């Protein structure tokens, strides 16, 4: 028998019992005639005790144990004289009577404890060692609980889990596809799904009514910090539903998960239109843990002879409470430089400090009377001690820049409190997005999203400006400034779907070649339907107050999209090139 108990289980009530434990040697401490070992498994750490005067041979064997040796011990539970209140098993230790070495270990390349000395790359190369560490292991356990609770809730609400294929057809919309060459069909390729979108819609046509799947998705996007080429979604679709039915169901799921896994009761989620979110926060995923809402100042500041403001489409600011005294000229300069970095691209920053003593200091003090500045304060609700930060320029860009500044100020002012969760639904997204570069429209969500019913008429009749105004029955769930999920009511009618593809610049032939299977299915009694997908990795990270999704993935890729542990991607053998007909093109050309 390898064990009677786990390393996280024994307490005072077990004192006197003879037990068997198995696990890894985390650390060994030798003092005079005594040796202490911390033995670890998934469940915790238990202290082992060896005494030279009781059994010299056993103690000598214990002193041979290196870090991460795998051992089995038999012994008696006894009360510790020197208790460790930080450990659930800290009141007891095992007086070892028998020790078996089950396996040896090389010296690990980094310390396997809460805090480690290993850098990112090294830990990813030895991910199986990193997972032995408490914080990494706990995140995977958390993820597992979340997945189980998701399945519980959805199956209790009538959803069935259906697996959809991973080898599908490449469709050049959204992100880039990962492709898989076919051996049996020379020159042809499968693609890995960016999401099961078309399949879940076909399941609705098939009458499955409520579908879900916790599913891997693959997107070959450009590298960015914290982006994983494969990630997991809680993917869902429902028939005969309105937007409200979907929002309520998935608000219910979210509340259930927070309650069951975190013990947090979330209040009802507010709804905010896309336009309102942009106006008030400059972002379609506002962090509502703090206010600092946008204050539009066009009326207050224009026509007073300050050309930067006069020529701007929008002058807009935020009021940073109590920050007037905290920012020296040098700090303001640094903040301005931060805003001027290419990632943000603001031209400049105007500040107005409303000092505690009633005086006012501003970078535009030369251009505006004190009375004018006071009227801004009133408009912005600024009190003595507060500081107004103002940006000006083209509306859309300026809002984006100010949104970055708002988040940065929120961070600096400690307003993004851990353990506080502020969910909201952002609704009524634009249907289409104009892309200057390619001079065509893209679907803001995806091409299967339905316009709002009242906009269907305008859909084909209008010009470019009308097209930009079309609204979709699309929605996002946002928590603490992170997009957790998004979905929409879908088009379920062939004619409307064809229209939409046309708007998006597809020729009839292209639409037919790529999505004919879906439009064909719509001709056989497609029910009205809609759905949503949550980013599962992101949900885990946000619930745990973490920035990065990487640690919630057992075997993640690094920022270059590489798996350092198995060393992928990697070259393939010459025979494979041939078998997969990958030399075909070249030889045909030559």
- Per CB under 6 A, residues contacting ligand ASP are 195, 197, 486-488, 531-533
Beta strands in 355-465 (DSSP E): 360-362, 387-393, 423-427, 432-435, 440-443
| Residue of closest CB approach to ligand ASP | 195
Q: How far apart are CA 163 and CA 447, in angstroms?
A: 23
Q: Is 229 or 487 the residue whose CB approaches ligand ASP more closely?
A: 487
Q: Is 99 or 489 the residue whose CB approaches ligand ASP more closely?
A: 489
Q: Under a CB-based contact definition with an 8 Å cutoff, are residues 299 and 312 in contact?
A: no
Q: How far is the CB of 320 from ligand ASP (least distance, A)?
A: 35
Q: How far is the CB of 269 from ligand ASP (least distance, A)?
A: 18
Q: Is 290 or 534 the residue whose CB approaches ligand ASP more closely?
A: 534
Q: How far is the CB of 487 from ligand ASP (least distance, A)?
A: 4
Q: How far is the CB of 502 from ligand ASP (least distance, A)?
A: 21
Q: How far apart are CA 77 and CA 55, in angstroms?
A: 17
Q: How far is the CB of 174 from ligand ASP (least distance, A)?
A: 8
Q: How far apart are CA 393 and CA 36, in angstroms?
A: 67
Q: Is 238 or 349 the residue whose CB approaches ligand ASP more closely?
A: 238
The residues, ordered by sequence, that sit 6+ positions from 178 with a Cβ below 8 Å of its Cβ are 191, 192, 218, 219, 220, 229
- Pairing type for strands 387-393 and 432-435 reads unpaired
Place of tokens 């095992």: 94
Place of tokens 């299977």: 517
Q: Under a CB-based contact definition with an 8 Å cutoff, are residues 450 and 473 in contact?
A: yes
Nearest CA-CA partner of 289 in 422, 479, 414: 422
Q: How far apart are CA 365 and CA 370, in angstroms?
A: 8
Q: How far apart are CA 243 and CA 140, in angstroms?
A: 33
SS (H, E, C) 260-311: HHHCCCCCCCCEEEHHHHHHHHCCCCCCCCCCCCCEECHHHHCCCCCHHHHC
Q: How far is the CB of 297 from ligand ASP (least distance, A)?
A: 36
Q: Is 249 or 488 the residue whose CB approaches ligand ASP more closely?
A: 488
Q: Is 410 or 486 the residue whose CB approaches ligand ASP more closely?
A: 486
Q: How far is the CB of 537 from ligand ASP (least distance, A)?
A: 13
Q: Is 324 or 532 the residue whose CB approaches ligand ASP more closely?
A: 532
- Pairing type for strands 440-443 and 432-435 reads antiparallel
Q: How far is the CB of 170 from ligand ASP (least distance, A)?
A: 16
Q: Is 199 or 506 the residue whose CB approaches ligand ASP more closely?
A: 199
Q: How far apart are CA 145 and CA 149, in angstroms?
A: 6
Q: What is the DSSP letter of 325?
A: G
Q: How far is the CB of 477 from ligand ASP (least distance, A)?
A: 11
Q: Is 244 or 463 the residue whose CB approaches ligand ASP more closely?
A: 244
């Amino acid at each position: 028998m390898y064990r009677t108990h786990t390393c996280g289980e024994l307490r005072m009530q077990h004192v006197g019992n003879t037990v068997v434990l198995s696990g890894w040697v985390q650390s060994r401490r030798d003092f005079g005639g005594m040796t202490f070992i911390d033995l670890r498994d998934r469940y915790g750490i238990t202290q082992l005790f060896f005494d030279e005067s009781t059994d010299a041979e056993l103690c000598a064997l214990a002193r041979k144990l290196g870090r991460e040796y795998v051992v089995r011990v038999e012994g008696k539970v006894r009360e510790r004289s020197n208790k460790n209140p930080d450990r659930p098993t800290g009141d007891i230790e095992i007086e070892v009577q028998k020790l078996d070495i089950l396996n040896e270990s090389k010296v690990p390349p980094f310390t396997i404890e809460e805090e480690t000395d290993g850098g990112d790359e090294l830990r990813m190369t030895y991910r199986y060692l990193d997972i032995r560490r408490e914080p990494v292991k706990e995140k995977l356990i958390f993820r597992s609980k979340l997945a189980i609770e998701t399945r519980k809730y959805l199956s209790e609400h009538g959803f069935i889990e259906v697996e959809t294929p991973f080898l599908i057809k490449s469709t050049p919309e959204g992100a880039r596809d990962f492709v898989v060459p076919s051996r049996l069909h020379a020159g042809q390729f499968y693609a890995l799904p960016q999401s099961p979108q078309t399949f879940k819609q076909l399941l609705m046509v098939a009458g499955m009514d409520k579908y879900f799947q916790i599913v891997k998705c693959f997107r070959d996007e450009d590298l960015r910090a914290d982006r994983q080429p494969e990630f997991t979604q809680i993917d869902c679709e429902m028939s005969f539903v309105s937007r409200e039915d979907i929002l309520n169901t998935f608000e219910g799921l979210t509340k259930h998960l927070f309650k069951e896994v975190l013990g947090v009761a979330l209040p009802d989620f507010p709804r905010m239109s896309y336009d309102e979110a942009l106006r008030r926060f400059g972002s379609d995923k506002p962090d509502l843990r703090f206010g600092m809402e946008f204050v539009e100042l066009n009326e207050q500041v224009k026509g007073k002879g300050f050309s930067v403001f006069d020529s701007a489409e929008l002058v807009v600011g935020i009021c940073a409470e109590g920050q007037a005294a905290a920012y020296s000229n040098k700090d303001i300069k640094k903040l301005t430089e931060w805003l001027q970095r290419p990632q943000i691209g603001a031209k400049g920053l105007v500040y107005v400090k409303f000092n505690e003593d009633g005086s006012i200091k501003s970078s535009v003090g030369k251009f505006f009377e004190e009375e004018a500045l006071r009227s801004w304060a009133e408009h912005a609700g600024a009190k003595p001690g507060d500081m107004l930060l103002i940006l000006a320029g083209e509306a859309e860009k300026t809002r984006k820049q100010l949104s970055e500044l708002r988040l940065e100020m929120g961070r600096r002012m400690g307003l993004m409190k851990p353990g506080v969760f502020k969910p909201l639904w952002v609704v009524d997204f634009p249907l289409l997005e104009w892309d200057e570069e390619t001079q065509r429209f893209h679907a803001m969500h995806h091409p299967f999203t339905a316009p709002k019913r009242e906009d269907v008429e305008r859909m084909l009749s209008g010009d470019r400006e009308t097209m930009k105004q079309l609204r979709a029955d699309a929605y996002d769930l946002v928590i603490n400034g992170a997009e957790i999920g998004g979905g929409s009511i879908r088009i379920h009618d062939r004619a409307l779907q064809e229209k939409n593809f046309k708007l998006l610049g597809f020729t009839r032939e292209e639409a037919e070649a790529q999505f004919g299977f879906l439009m064909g299915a719509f001709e056989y009694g497609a029910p009205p339907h809609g759905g949503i997908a949550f980013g599962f990795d992101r949900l885990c990270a946000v619930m745990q107050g973490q920035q990065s999704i990487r640690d919630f993935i057992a075997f993640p890729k690094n920022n270059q999209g590489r798996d350092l542990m198995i060393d992928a991607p990697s070259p393939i053998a010459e025979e494979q090139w041939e078998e997969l007909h990958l030399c075909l093109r070249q030889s045909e050309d030559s």
